[in-house]
Chains A and B, each alone.
Chain A
Amino acid sequence: MSLDAATVRRVANLARLRLEETEVEKLQAELNGILGWIEQLQQVDTEGVEPMAGGAPVEVKLPWRADAVTDGAQAEKVLANAPDREGDYFGVPKVVE
């Protein structure tokens, strides 16, 4: 499996990354290298091994929290890093569908 330059540009666009042409070539080579590793991994015999959903071992359970309000009420902290603040709102360039 190999990625063409158009796919690299598309993936970059979806990730909101602006690439120079020279970078496309470089990333194409790097990504193809990664895909090569994955192909290699797929040769491992996983017969009888339970699939994992993430990096955690299968026996790790999802912890549950009780339905109680324990957080929030901190608008100042939430807004503290906002590049643009309008009252208690975040200000962003106008987005209208």
Chain B
Amino acid sequence: MTYTIEGETGPWEVVIGLEVHAQVTSHAKLFSGAATAFGAEPNSQVSFVDAGFPGMLPVINEACIAQAVRTGLGLNAEIHLWSRFDRKNYFYADLPQGYQISQYAHPIVGKGEVEVTLADGSTKIIGVTRLHLEQDAGKSLHDQHPTKSFIDLNRSGVALMEIVSEPDMRSPEEAGAYLAKLRQIMRYLGTCDGNMDEGSMRADVNVSVRKAGEGFRTRCEVKNVNSIRFVMQAVEAEARRQIEVWESGGTVEQETRLFDTARGVTRSMRSKEDAHDYRYFPDPDLPPLVLEQSWVEQLKASLPELPDQRRARYVAMGLSPYDAHVLTIERETATFFETVAKGRDAKVAANWVTGDFFAALNRLKRDISDPPVTAQHLGELLDLLADKTLSGALAKQVFEAMIETGQAPSVIVEERGLRQVTDTGAIEAAVDAIMAANADKVAEYRGGKEKLFGFFVGQTMKAMAGKGNPALVNEVLKAKLG
């Protein structure tokens, strides 16, 4: 069903395209040997190239090229063996060169596509127009001084991948799912850490609205949105604003806007159209970037398993599409699951990881990188279930004890005597005692009140401190009650 926003004149469709800036994971910058680490002292990771000193020449970092190609391959995109760097000219206090080195006419990666999964389980293909390499700018701090802005050039020159999508998204949910998918792919590939809090991924969101069946109307660009949730909110806020403009008889002007996260509205950012006249031209300091096909093939052969492939493999192992999806969102989760499932029943392992284990993570506010129970221990717990040392109920009890103590399940079972009782003699003795103590109920049961069976099960389990094997308890009770 098409997502629409209801205006005074009826429903409106929303058209969304995203330009995502993803910081390349590398030690050094795109064109200099300065470090890229986050959180360093101001201006401590700046070479003279990054500071735009006269006469300094850029030399490209091969790892950044490889990361762009790997990302392109992960997006099922064409890799361009010939690409070129251009200068994008504009003046801003955090851009010491007076231009950004980018790829305008000839990007390193061309058309590709990603498949996103939506909440209702449906999937959709979102087209990728291109991916190109460019330099990041420095960072401005505006709140340190009443009349000055402070500039830190540590980020200046760090490699970014700009990934441009086709205007293929039609709802805030699709925009959010696309951004999440890009992040997931890059985290699997190790090409961008996807850390949105540290600004490693930012999105410019292009939004327009239209009536069903129309072509595209004028779009506006909401700049620098830095979380998946804010992207979804910005799409809706900007679409509602445009609907109001159209419905009040106005015309939406193409412009750049900012999303005010506190107020949940977008506001105009640049008024002068001149600001968009970047006068691109080929950077005379940099000859074209030429790749060998064999080098690209090597990178392709060394790609790790991607989320879509991994998900398909899990479904083939017998997992539900939903579990397969949830377990592959983060690479660390998938690795955890695979350790638990190795040599064991994959479905049981998936149930425990997505069930009790995820619940524990949520409850304890822990992250998969810092799990309250190790994958090895959880696997051992499944072994104790499989060999019937533990019943399901006892296993849950042991699991809680594992969280508290960090001990191996076998240790907990021994120390606390939680081993399930499968000795038929012991169960028969317990059942006999319960029947003797409840002679009236036994008579009622035999008189036809069959739902009392549950009462006997409960009493027997209680007498055995929960350790009776449920199947055996049932069996013995059935035989004795007749």
Contact = CB atoms under 8 A, between A and B. Distances in A.
B42 interface: yes
Chain B interface residue bracket vs A? 35 or more
A1 interface: no
A87 B288 CA distance: 40
A78 to B, nearest CB: 5
A97 B84 CA distance: 31
A72 B44 contact: yes
Interface of A is mostly: loop
Contact of B47 (A72, A90, A93): A72
Q: Which of B28, B63, B146, B147 has the most CB of A within 10 A?
A: B28
B252 interface: no
B258 A97 contact: yes
Interface string A75-97: 10111000010111111111111
Contacts of B41: 75, 88
Nearest to B224: A97
Interface in B140-170: 140-142, 144-153
B45 A92 contact: no
B284 A55 contact: yes
A6 interface: no
B120 interface: no
B269 interface: yes
Interface residues of A, number: 40
B208 interface: no
Contacts of A67: 26-28, 61-64
Nearest to A60: B287
A92 B95 CA distance: 12
A14 B148 CA distance: 23
Contact of A78 (B46, B63, B92, B146): B46
A75 B46 contact: yes
B51 A62 contact: no
Contacts of A70: 28, 33
B42 A88 contact: yes
A44 interface: no
A20 interface: no
A90 B27 CA distance: 25
A72 B33 contact: yes
A65 B92 contact: no
A61 B145 CA distance: 46
Contacts of A47: none
B32 interface: yes
Name, among B44, B140, B150, B279, the residue most crowded by chain A CB atoms within 10 Å (CB to CB): B150
Nearest to B45: A72
Interface string B252-295: 00000010000000000110001001010011111111100000
Given A62-B287, A65-B60, A72-B34, 18 more contacts: A14-B277, A16-B91, A53-B84, A53-B282, A54-B282, A54-B283, A65-B33, A65-B59, A69-B35, A72-B47, A77-B48, A78-B153, A84-B148, A86-B148, A87-B42, A88-B42, A93-B147, A94-B142
12 contacts: A62-B286, A65-B33, A67-B61, A68-B28, A69-B28, A69-B34, A71-B47, A71-B49, A72-B46, A78-B43, A88-B43, A93-B147
Interface of A: 10, 13-14, 16, 53-56, 60-75, 77-79, 84, 86-97
8 tightest A-B contacts by CB? A67-B63, A70-B33, A72-B34, A71-B33, A89-B150, A71-B47, A90-B151, A64-B62
Interface of B: 26-28, 32-35, 41-49, 51, 59-65, 84, 89, 91-93, 140-142, 144-153, 258, 269-270, 274, 277, 279, 282-290
